[in-house]
Amino acid sequence: MTTATERSIGLAIDKVRAQAAAEGLLDVAYATADSPFGPLLLARTERGLVRVGLPNQDAEELLADLAARVSPRVLEAPGELDEARRELDLYFAGKLDRFDLPLDWRLSGGFRQRVLRAINRIPYGQTRSYTEMARKAGNERAVRAAGTACGSNPIPLVVPCHRVLRTGGALGGYGGGLPMKEGLLELEGVLDGKGTS
Amino acid sequence: MTALPPFQTVLDDHSAAVMAILQGAVGRDSADDCFQETFLAALRAYPQLGDASNLRGWLLTIAHRKAIDHHRARGRAPVPVAEVREVAVEDGIPEHDPGLWAAVGTLPPKQRAAVALRYGSDLPHSEIATALGCSPEAARRSLHEGLKRLRKELA
């Protein structure tokens, strides 16, 4: 049960959050969102979506990491993530094949960012190999580094690293676990549900 | 140096203590406004905060300042009375002595907060202890040490 004091604290916190947003003090706004695979953590800056935490990732650790790498002004502000949540809901319902969200790439630098930007151009329902991604990023021989870039993708789902497979079609890895990668590829009609392409 | 946690954690961990202190210091009706001002001021200054080891003391010091601002603003507002007194009243409220409060400002954080909460917000030792997250005995000690230093400095 909520006491009157807890309620008034809740209301006062809402006002702090609204005023912080109005004053441009919400350096990192975050919220959780439901997905068929479990709860997601969504975080954005004034530039755009900066982090998507998958269900198997520790939300507290992700927030501490954002505090250290972006800004310690990290506040829960669900309203700021409404559009991201809406597009993800549509995506999971199979009704959206392209995200239209501003992205903040600052958590990845150099080669990794180039790999992720290349991944971001893979169309819905298609797959590419790690080798192709390495080539697109400017270094065909850096296949292993391309794999690492996928593994460290700070904005999974929206930047569709699940569409990158090993040459020959083996699934490779996934930060959210292989069953989730399979599930996403089934959703997009790449896999037939039996784990083969 | 301790890394600064996400500000949401600061809100979650300390909002109840800040609200309790403010309700004691300025009353329920004004506590909400002071609460917002406290956390907004904290949020503005947060990235520059060098040390995260005593976040509660830091917040309560800000809360205390907001409570004093509130009392000052109220003190300046005219109060309707039936008869205007002809003699000036000196009630000895400590914040009227800027030298004293400047000296309080130089105390170490725990002592400063203890002195501010005791004499600024008029809180009993038990509530100062809650506010500072320590035992009443430790709160009493911080207060005592703070006063000793002030006496020495202002003597």
Domain ranges of chain A: 4-92, 110-187
Does the pLDDT at position B35 exceed 60?
A: yes
In a domain, residue B41? The reply is yes
Q: What is the pLDDT of residue A197?
A: 45
CB contact under 8 A, B35 and A25: no
pLDDT, tens digit, 9 for 90 and up, residues A58-75:
999 999 999 999 999 999
In Å, how far are A112, A124, A159, A163, A164 from A152, measured between CA atoms? 8, 21, 11, 15, 13
Q: Contact, A192 vs A169, CB < 8 A? A: no
CATH code assigned to A110-187:
1.10.10.10
Q: pLDDT band for position B124 (50/70/90)? A: confident
DSSP-based three-state secondary structure for A18 = helix
Q: Residue A101: phi, psi to the nearest 5?
A: -125, 135
pLDDT digits (tens, 9 = 90+) for B49-87: 988 888 998 999 899 899 888 888 877 655 556 666 565
Q: Which residues of B are less than 8 Å from A66 in CB distance? A: 6
Answer yes or no: are the C-beta atoms of A183 and A44 closer than 8 Å: no
Q: How far A62 CA lies from chain B's nearest CA (Å)?
A: 10
More confident residue, B48 or B97: B48
For residue B14, the enclosing domain spans 7-77+98-154
Number of structural domains in chain B = 1
**CATH class for the domain made up of A4-92:** alpha beta
* Residue A175 pLDDT greater than 50, yes or no: yes
The minimal CB distance from B7 to the residues A9, A11, A72 is found for A72
pLDDT-based confidence at residue B46 (cuts at 50, 70, 90): very high
> What is the structure's pLDDT at A34?
96
CATH of the domain at B127: 1.10.10.10
More confident residue, A11 or B111: A11
| pLDDT the model gives residue B121 | 65
CA dist A142 and A131 (Å) reads: 8
User: Scanning every residue of chain A, which has its alpha carbon at the shortest distance from the alpha carbon of B29?
Assistant: A8
B8 neighbourhood in chain A, CB within 8 Å: 30, 63, 74-76
Q: Summarize pLDDT for A27-60 with one digit per residue, the tens.
A: 999 999 999 999 999 999 999 999 999 999 999 9
Structural domain contains residue B90: no
Asked if residue B96 has pLDDT above 80, the reply is: no
Please judge whether B35 and A9 are an interchain contact, meaning their C-beta atoms are less than 8 angstroms apart: yes
Exposure string over A151-171, b if 16+ CB within 10 A, otherwise e: eebbbbbbbbbbbbbeeeeeb
Mean pLDDT over the full length of chain B: 81
- Residue B85 resides in a domain: no
Q: Which of A87-101, B28-42, B65-79 has the lowest mean pLDDT?
A: B65-79
Enumerate residues 12 to 41 of chain B having a beta carbon within 8 A of any beta carbon in chain A. Answer: 15-16, 19-20, 32, 35-36, 39-40
Distance between B17 CA and the closest CA of chain A, angstroms: 10
B139 part of a folded domain: yes
In a domain, residue B68? The reply is yes
Q: Indicate the residue of A6, A68, A73 with minimum beta-carbon distance to B3.
A: A68
**B2 within some domain:** no
3-state secondary structure of B82: coil
d(CA A99, CA B131): 47
pLDDT digits (tens, 9 = 90+) for A102-153: 999 999 999 999 999 999 999 999 999 999 999 999 998 999 999 999 999 9
Interface test with A, best of B10, B30, B32, B43 (most A CBs within 10 A): B43
pLDDT at B31 over 50: yes
